[in-house]
């Protein structure tokens, strides 16, 4: 023990002077940097996380975009045509006393697949009903009528792929072409009319025609109401999305990871620090004071070691359904005494006999002074090493509770991402990104702390390192 470092400064020194220690620090710094990008996203993301309305412009269960780099394909990306990007044409027909508004969206589409969804949001500002028609024009000039109906005023969301009216219109269109088989609406909308008629649908891109032409969505609304107005938004949702893909509720997994990082690290660090320090202090007291105090602390520790920790924690969490921070308090309360108490005690027993303690006693240092200023610093490196291994353990503990459905109800934590992936059947349907990406981050954090621990362990247990 004589060469072991004393105090925080020398612990840092040891970490920064070993390869594994530096590697650990670098990984942690990278994760923290990633989580700093959280600033880019709107700050009410935590409230929005569980609000399905907030994620309508994201595709459902889309793989990350970079997967196209390996597959070599060019599957569709998400294209959003916003309200202000529609070309607007207002016509007043005096003899009929009506206003006719035409909205036109142009989309240059050059991907290999149809989008996963085609959704149109229409907002009719009117006092009376209006005549609404929606048409889809392909680059080859052919037109499919999606809707023609009398619409009530208000907001209307048309999920074209699953909308009943759209489906019957598309079927009527197919029958006119003489196609008897029923095709997915996405295929019909994105194949050239010729190929549809020939029975082998082939996707048509904007650049397949010379000169290249975009796809067009035309929304026409007519009403006699005063102050009549109409707005539309077109969402072409991709098959791939962003850096980390999306989950079954269209949420961007990247945002979840970025926001989960500080939560995971804060939970892990606080739990590890507090639990280890408390256990270490009790261990030092037990070892240094000895006799009755020692006996009492050791017996309490025995009780704590027998307690079924996870069962009790699950019970508490289930009955009181608390947030992650009250859970933190429960975790600390259930681990006031434990393994560290035992091992620090045995170390304190050794340190107690050393000459410098005797010297301190001889010049009249109080017991408390000796304990906190002379003995505890000597045990600090061990304590610190223990903190580094327990941080990932607590990060995983949160994940474990999430898997059982007992995680924090509101926050997007890493554990919740994984548990939602599991309960969402990601392993059964092969949505690998949903599981693998959050898992990678959680394992990265564990690895970082394991590396830190390794750099400390070499110094703490020199006997175990060399022949």
Partner 1 sequence: MLAITLIVATYLTVVIANGGGLVDQILANQIRFDVTSTLVRDPSFNRLSEAEREKLLEQRIELAIHAKGLDQPFIVRSFIYLVDALTLRLGQALVIKSNTGSRAVIDIIVERLPATVALFTTATIIYSILGILVGLVMARKPGGFFDRFMTMLAVITGVIPPWFFAIIFLLIFAFYIRLFPFGGFVSVPSPTDPLLYAIDVMFHMVLPLITWIIASFPFWAYITRNIVIQTIGEDFVTMAKAKGLSQSAVLRRYVLRPSLPPIITNVALALIASWQGAIITEVVFGWPGIGNLLNLAILSTDAPVVIGAAVVYAYLLVATVLILDIIYTVLDPRLKVG
Interacting residue with partner 1 among 134, 435, 456, 460 (CB under 8 A): 435
Q: What single-letter DSSP state applies at residue 229?
A: E
Work out how close the CB of 430 gets to partner 1 at its nearest, in angstroms, rounded to a whole number. Answer: 5
Work out how close the CB of 426 gets to partner 1 at its nearest, in angstroms, rounded to a whole number. Answer: 7
For residue 186, what is the enclosing H or E element? helix 185-190
Q: Answer yes or no whether residue 387 interacts with partner 1 by CB under 8 A.
A: no
Distance, in Å, from the CA atom of 90 to the CA atom of 223, rounded to the nearest integer, reads 12
Cβ proximity to partner 1, 122 vs 421, nearer residue: 421
Q: Answer yes or no whether residue 273 interacts with partner 1 by CB under 8 A.
A: no
Q: Stretches 164-172, 173-181, 227-235, 427-435: which one binds partner 1 (CB under 8 A)? A: 427-435
In the chain, % helix, strand, coil (3-state, to 5) comes to 55, 15, 30
Work out how close the CB of 8 gets to partner 1 at its nearest, in angstroms, rounded to a whole number. Answer: 22
Work out how close the CB of 390 gets to partner 1 at its nearest, in angstroms, rounded to a whole number. Answer: 8
Total chain residues near partner 1 (CB under 8 A): 53
Q: Answer yes or no whether residue 307 interacts with partner 1 by CB under 8 A.
A: yes
Q: Stretches 57-65, 94-102, 115-123, 429-437: which one binds partner 1 (CB under 8 A)? A: 429-437
Q: Answer yes or no whether residue 70 interacts with partner 1 by CB under 8 A.
A: no
Work out how close the CB of 369 gets to partner 1 at its nearest, in angstroms, rounded to a whole number. Answer: 33
* Residue corresponding to tokens 């994201």: 58
Interacting residue with partner 1 among 137, 278, 403, 424 (CB under 8 A): 403
Q: Which residues contact 396 (CB under 8 A, 6 or more apart)?
A: 415, 442, 446
Q: Stretches 79-87, 230-238, 350-358, 398-406: which one binds partner 1 (CB under 8 A)? A: 398-406
For residue 26, what is the enclosing H or E element? helix 19-36
105: helix, strand or coil:
strand
Q: Stretches 54-62, 113-121, 355-363, 384-392: which one binds partner 1 (CB under 8 A)? A: 384-392
Distance, in Å, from the CA atom of 83 to the CA atom of 86, rounded to the nearest integer, reads 6
Cα separation values, 330 from 106, 311, 404, 456, Å? 57, 12, 17, 29
Per CB under 8 A, which of residues 4..33 are in contact with partner 1?
20
* Residue corresponding to tokens 């229409």: 122
Q: Which residues contact 211 (CB under 8 A, 6 or more apart)?
A: none
Distance, in Å, from the CA atom of 278 to the CA atom of 265, rounded to the nearest integer, reads 20
Q: What is the 3-state secondary structure (H, E, C) of 421-442?
A: HHHCCHHHHCCHHHHHHHHHHH
The dihedral built from the CA positions of residue 263, 266, 272 and 278, taken in this order, carries a sign that is: negative
- What is the pattern of x (binds partner 1, CB under 8 A) and - over residues 438-467? -x--xx--xx-xxx-xx------x-xxxxx
Q: Answer yes or no whether residue 293 interacts with partner 1 by CB under 8 A.
A: no
Binding footprint of partner 1 on the chain (CB under 8 A) = 20, 299, 302-303, 306-308, 310-312, 314-316, 318-320, 389-390, 392-393, 396, 399-400, 403-405, 418, 421-422, 426-430, 432, 435-436, 439, 442-443, 446-447, 449-451, 453-454, 461, 463-467
């Amino acid at each position: 023990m004589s060469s072991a470092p004393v105090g925080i400064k020398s612990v840092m020194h040891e970490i920064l002077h070993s390869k594994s220690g530096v590697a650990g620090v670098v990984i942690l710094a990278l994760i923290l940097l990633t989580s700093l990008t959280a600033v880019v996203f709107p700050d009410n993301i935590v409230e929005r996380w569980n609000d399905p309305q907030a994620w309508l412009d994201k595709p459902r269960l889309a793989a990350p975009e970079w997967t196209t780099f390996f597959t070599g394909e060019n599957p569709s990306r998400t294209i959003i045509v916003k309200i202000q990007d529609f070309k607007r044409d207002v016509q007043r027909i005096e003899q009929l006393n009506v206003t006719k508004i035409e909205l036109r969206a142009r989309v240059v589409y050059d991907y290999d697949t149809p989008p996963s969804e085609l959704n149109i949001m229409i907002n009719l500002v009117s006092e009376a009903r209006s005549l609404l028609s929606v048409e889809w024009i392909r680059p080859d000039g052919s037109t499919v009528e999606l809707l023609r109906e009398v619409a009530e005023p208000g907001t209307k969301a048309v999920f074209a792929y699953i909308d009943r009216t759209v489906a019957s219109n598309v079927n009527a269109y197919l029958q006119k072409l003489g196609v008897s088989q029923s095709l997915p609406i996405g295929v019909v909308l994105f194949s050239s009319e010729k190929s549809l008629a020939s029975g082998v649908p082939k996707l048509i891109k904007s650049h397949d025609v010379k000169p290249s032409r975009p796809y067009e969505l035309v929304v026409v609304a007519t009403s006699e109401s005063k102050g009549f107005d109409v707005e539309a938004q077109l969402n072409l949702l991709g098959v791939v999305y962003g850096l980390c893909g999306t989950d079954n509720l269209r949420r961007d997994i990247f945002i979840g990871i970025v926001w989960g990082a500080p939560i995971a690290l804060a939970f892990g660090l606080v739990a590890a620090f507090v639990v280890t320090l408390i256990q270490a202090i009790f261990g030092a007291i037990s070892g240094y004071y000895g006799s009755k105090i020692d006996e009492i602390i050791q017996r309490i520790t025995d009780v704590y070691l027998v307690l079924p920790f996870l069962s009790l924690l699950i019970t508490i969490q289930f009955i009181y359904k608390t947030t992650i921070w009250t859970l933190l308090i429960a975790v600390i309360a259930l681990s006031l005494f434990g393994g560290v108490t035992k091992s620090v005690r045995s170390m304190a027993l050794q340190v107690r006999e050393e000459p410098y303690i005797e010297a301190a006693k001889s010049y009249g240092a109080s017991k408390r002074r000796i304990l906190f200023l002379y003995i505890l610093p000597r045990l600090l490196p061990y304590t610190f090493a223990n903190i580094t291994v327990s941080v990932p353990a607590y990060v995983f503990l949160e994940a474990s509770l999430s898997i059982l459905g007992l995680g924090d109800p509101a926050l997007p934590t890493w554990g919740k991402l994984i548990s939602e992936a599991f309960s969402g059947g990601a392993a059964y349907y092969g949505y690998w990104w949903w599981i693998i990406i959050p898992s990678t981050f959680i394992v990265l954090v564990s690895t970082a702390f394991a590396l830190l621990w390794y750099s400390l362990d070499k110094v703490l247990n020199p006997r175990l390192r060399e022949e």
